[in-house]
Amino acid sequence: MARARLNTGKTVLIDLQVPHSQEPRSNPGRHYGSRITFPGDGTVLFTIDDNGVRYAAQDLTRPVGSVIRILQEGGIPPDNPFVGVPSGLAINHGNAFPLWRGNLFADFLRSESIHRLVIENNTVAHEEPLLEEPVRCIRDVRIAPDGFIYILTEASNGGLFLIKPTD
């Protein structure tokens, strides 16, 4: 993760800073995907893929397969949560599933599933899998403004899938 500024001519990056650098480096030539988001609280969140070394993503002592949260100016926020975050996480604020409003939806690449999590007193009070069958290579889960749940997959037959209420 790096940041820099454009010079006045907008032709060269200057003042390069590297708030996070992953070690050790690997070189298998695949799985270098990432997402970056600025949640508006002075932090930046970004994902680190498994770098082609799949077993390493299950080792909580290594950063691969993680969601990293750092301060925009660099450093670790004092309120950082536990590091075992899933590959995607969304909070339902929509109206499509009113009984699920405020619940978290987490996708798990390894178990090929999406789970609904009910949080009470900062702990998971209830967890429920949403899919009847495994879905390969789930990369993200998002809740649309209308409340429908979208799942993004990367498998050869993958795509963007919609979960919506039945009649």
The angle at the Cα of 36, spanning 85 to 115, to the nearest 5 degrees, equals 35
Q: Which CATH number fits domain 88-163: 2.40.10, 1.25.10, 1.25.40, 1.10.150?
A: 2.40.10
* Tens digit of each residue's pLDDT (9 = 90 or more) over 34-90: 778 888 888 888 877 766 666 666 665 566 667 778 888 777 777 776 444 656 778
Residues 81 and 78: their CA atoms lie apart, in Å, by: 9
* Tens digit of each residue's pLDDT (9 = 90 or more) over 133-148: 777 777 788 888 888 9
* Tens digit of each residue's pLDDT (9 = 90 or more) over 82-106: 444 656 778 888 889 999 988 988 8
Can you give the residue ranges of every domain in the chain? 3-71, 88-163
Q: How much is the pTM? A: 0.51
Residue with tokens 């770098």: 51
User: What DSSP state is assigned to residue 100?
Assistant: G
Count Cβ atoms below 10 Å from residue 19 Cβ, excluding itself: 15
